[in-house]
Amino acid sequence: MSAGRTAAPASGQWVFHNGDFVPAADVRLGPSLQALQYGTGVFEGIRSYAAGPDTAHLYRARDHFTRMIASARILRIAIDRSADELVEITTELLRRNGHTGDAYVRPLAYKTALEPGVPFGVRLQGVSSSLTMVSLPMGSYVPKEGITCGVSSWRRIPDSSLPARAKITGAYANNALATDEATQAGYDDAIFLNQAGHVAEASTANLFLVRDGRVATPAQDSDILEGITRDSVISLLRRDEDIEVEQRTVLRSELCTADEIFLTGTGCEIVPVVALDGRPVGAGAPGPVTKTVMRAYEQSVRGREIRDHGWLTQVHEAPVHL
């Protein structure tokens, strides 16, 4: 793959916007954009990983787009393409931008403007939709030696109010409040409890805990995003280590007595939590299960696994004709 085969736009980066690849500077979104006003957008974060000196592959891109299409259905956002077509577009975007190293892709589908004759107001029907996708270089950014977390006083928005299983832009104000509180208090990240007071997830990551050799993670009905990294970890532990992860209600008190806690997410990958609310987790250093998961996930995203899960998509060397 070569960055030079498509002439770079003046701004230096291509963006996929409403069906075309355009220079980033040509995307103009106005102040009356519905998604800006009301938070009615859905998005994904997808990573691609360098797979050689001049090639990369996307990790679980099809699963990310399948989730995005499901999120969009909830908000009646029209995405007129299949997950496979969106994967094709993504590989072409990376190729055009010359992102053959580790990179991050951010697709965003959102409500744009009221259709002619539709009265002013907050609504989902009668509002047009757009799709914009950007890519940027991004390596691992979370310290492998672990982070500190605090349990947030902000509770996770319940499914009955705004489904956490959908990555809805407006819902991330909830996450921003929690991270703001956590960082002001000197922690690296926040852990959300749900309305029932049970553990949900971190600000932008799912949570796993290890206690007496058993691994657990909050179940899908705990007001979590059904994380794709969470799913990878459950699969990798089952297939490679013969460990069945318990997906269940997790009590806050279990966090205080856990031997290990780690977070999982596309962006942060696998992150050990070494202290919670000012108490060390276990020995206050990444534990053996966490280290095993970190190794297995690294192997998985780099395509070094013996088993082929079908999770990798090669970024094209040649242009794709859409």
Ligand X SMILES: Cc1ncc(COP(=O)(O)O)c(C=O)c1O
Catalytically annotated residue among 111, 144, 167, 291: 167
Report 44-103 residues binding ligand X (CB under 6 A): 45
- 218 sits near ligand X (criterion: CB under 6 A): no
- 1 sits near ligand X (criterion: CB under 6 A): no
The CB-side HSE value for 73 (13 A sphere, CA atoms) comes to: 9
- 230 sits near ligand X (criterion: CB under 6 A): yes
* Contact criterion met (CB below 8 Å) for 107 and 62: no
Q: Tally the residues of the chain.
A: 322
Residue 123 C-beta: closest distance to ligand X, Å: 26
Q: Is residue 167 annotated as a catalytic residue, yes or no?
A: yes
CB count within 10 Å of CB 66 equals 17
The CA R_g of the chain, rounded to the nearest whole Å, is: 20
- 169 sits near ligand X (criterion: CB under 6 A): no
- 163 sits near ligand X (criterion: CB under 6 A): no
Query: Which of 132, 264 has the CB closer to ligand X?
Result: 264
Instruction: Output phi, psi for 174, to 5 deg.
Output: -60, -45
Rounded to whole angstroms, the Cα distance separating 233 from 297 reads 7
Query: Which of 157, 315 has the CB closer to ligand X?
Result: 157
Report 261-290 residues binding ligand X (CB under 6 A): 264-266
- 129 sits near ligand X (criterion: CB under 6 A): no
Amino acid identity, residue 257?
A: T
- 300 sits near ligand X (criterion: CB under 6 A): no
Total site size for ligand X, rule CB under 6 A: 14
For residue 82 the two structure tokens come to 């299949």
Query: Which of 51, 205 has the CB closer to ligand X?
Result: 205
Which residues are at the interface with ligand X (CB under 6 A)? 45, 175, 201, 204-206, 225, 227-230, 264-266
